[in-house]
Amino acid sequence: MHQTIGVPSVETPASWTVATVVLVILALSFGAPWITIIALKMIAAELGGLRSVPAFATALAWVGFGTGGIAMGYVAERVGVRATVITGAVMICIGLALSTGGATWQLYVGQGLFVGFLGVGGMNAPFYVYISRWFDRRRGSALALISSGSYVAGAIWPPIFERAVAYAGWRQTMLYYGLIEAAVVVPLAAMFLRPPPELLLPIGTLDAISAPNAVMGWPPNLVFAVMAAAGIFCCIPMAMPQAHLPAFCS
């Protein structure tokens, strides 16, 4: 988005600092469910040999990301992103600790509710709104940067978790990673995630923004629903099988 003539930009070097911190937080937080994927065979062996149990726990985590983003986005608008991110980091730590309990329900609740819904759900979607308010010229580039957080996690953490699980076991890996999550994300959020600057709009812009506009002749809400459905039906067949690939290749 180009800067409007005569209107000072809210975009500063601090904007990119905040965006980089958000990228680090997401890359760390999205690593949490990968432990269950990497240790799928070990977890299944301890839970009766059913791979469907840890695989379903991973699916619950991803469902939690999505549904939690809706609920926690509402909360973030009222209490601020800093609060939801700090809470989310603590929830991920609790969820990973609960997942090591040894019972199926503990794995499901730990991954789906704490890691997914309350954890990453309190970070991912709220971050998109938060970062968009720090930029008015290179907003697309900033959003693309933070959206790569989950992919960075998928590239970095699986090889590390493979060695950690082989050395210390999946339970210890979850416990230590949960502590690292809280120890890193909580201070980062407290130091850097301050309220975004106010975007100054020229006179008359608010009326133009408030006016309903069709998107290629379609109602905006319909376009939003179609895009949401496309994301769901695209990611399910692409992302869910990834939970089984490490087990098949090992």
pLDDT score at 4: 47
- Examine residue 233 and state whether it is found in any structural domain, yes or no: no
Tell me if 237 is assigned to some domain.
no
- pLDDT tens by residue, 22-45: 999 999 999 999 999 999 989 988
Q: Is the pLDDT of residue 2 over 70?
A: no
Q: What is the pTM of this model?
A: 0.86
Would residue 59 count as lying in a domain?
Answer: yes
Could you tell me the CATH number of the domain that includes residue 120? 1.20.1250.20
Q: Which tens digits make up the pLDDT trace of 39-96?
A: 998 998 888 777 888 888 988 998 888 888 888 888 998 999 999 999 999 999 999 9
Mind listing the pLDDT tens digit for each residue in 195-240? Answer: 988 766 555 555 555 556 777 778 888 887 888 787 777 777 776 6
CA-wise closest residue to 88 among 59, 127, 120: 120
DSSP 8-state assignment for residue 138: S
| 54 domain-assigned | yes
User: For residues 121 and 124, what is the distance between their CA atoms, to the nearest angstrom?
Assistant: 6
Residue range(s) defining the domain that contains residue 109: 13-201
Q: Is residue 243 part of a domain?
A: no
Q: What does the alpha-carbon distance between residue 79 and residue 64 come to, in Å, rounded to a whole number? A: 20
Domain count, the chain: 1
Considering the chain, what is the average pLDDT of its residues? 86
CA 33 to chain CA mean position, Å: 11
